[in-house]
């Protein structure tokens, strides 16, 4: 009877492939490809992924992610009047966060509303999401479709005519690419 046909693995945490070759290592339940001396990672190669749990190769990522960009921020200093950004957010971008940093408290029950210029349906921050009378940072994390109407500027609308107050608005966005 051959016990080798029943052999499933090794009790060791490091398994060398070939003579003086790279190693497969169990590092606290994480599989690592290590060099021969176990002093650094080794390069592993694979084919393009076909299932949801497959690893992604650099080639596959580069081939399928050319149009994606990183997270970009529109920064808008705000004082005592409604302001429209000079930077436009691209069509079909996704808004990930809208942050209003109140540096000097506003008086006169002032409120800020943030929306896509001319399109009230794309509103990354409503008046109820911030309290300009209180110094602090107000953040609205989200996944909001910016739309594709061709006028992607941000309008921060100030209501109630305060006499004091200062803030900075940040709108974070990306133009993600679906690589599924």
81 Cβ partners below 8 Å, 6+ apart? 158
**What domains does the chain contain, in order, with CATH numbers?**
4-64 (no CATH), 72-174 (2.60.120)
Strand order, beta sheet including 154-159: 83-84, 154-159, 111-116
pLDDT digits (tens, 9 = 90+) for 61-82: 777 665 556 788 999 999 999 9
Query: What pLDDT score does 109 carry?
Result: 94
Sheet of strand 30-34, all strands in order from the earlier edge strand to the far edge: 14-16, 23-27, 30-34
Torsion of CA 151, 155, 159, 164, to 10 degrees: -150
Least confident residue range of 1-5, 60-64, 122-126: 1-5
- 114: exposed, middle or buried (C-beta count within 10 Å: 0-12, 13-18, 19+)? buried
Q: How far apart are CA 50 and CA 110, in angstroms?
A: 54
The pLDDT tens digits of the residues spanning 80-123 come to: 999 999 988 988 889 999 999 999 999 999 999 999 988 888 89
Between CA 100 and CA 67, with CA 152 as vertex, the angle to 5 degrees is: 100
pLDDT of residue 149: 72
In a 13 Å sphere around the CA of 95, the CA atoms on its Cβ side amount to 26
């Amino acid at each position: 009877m051959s016990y080798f046909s029943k052999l499933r693995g090794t009790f060791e945490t490091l398994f060398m492939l070939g003579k003086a070759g790279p190693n497969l290592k169990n590092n606290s339940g994480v599989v690592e490809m290590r060099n021969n001396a176990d002093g650094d990672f080794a390069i592993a190669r694979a084919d393009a992924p076909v299932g949801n749990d497959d690893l992604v190769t650099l080639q596959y990522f580069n081939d399928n992610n050319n149009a994606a960009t990183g997270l970009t921020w529109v920064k808008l200093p705000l004082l005592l009047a409604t302001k429209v950004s000079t930077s436009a957010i691209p069509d079909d971008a996704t808004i990930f966060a809208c942050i209003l940093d109140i540096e000097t408290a506003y008086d006169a029950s002032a409120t800020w509303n943030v929306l896509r210029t001319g399109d009230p349906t794309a509103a990354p921050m409503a008046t109820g999401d911030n309290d300009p009378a209180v110094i602090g940072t107000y953040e609205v994390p989200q996944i909001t479709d910016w739309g594709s109407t061709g006028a992607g500027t941000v309008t921060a609308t100030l209501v109630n005519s305060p006499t004091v107050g200062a803030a900075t608005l940040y709108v974070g966005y990306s133009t993600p690419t679906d690589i599924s």
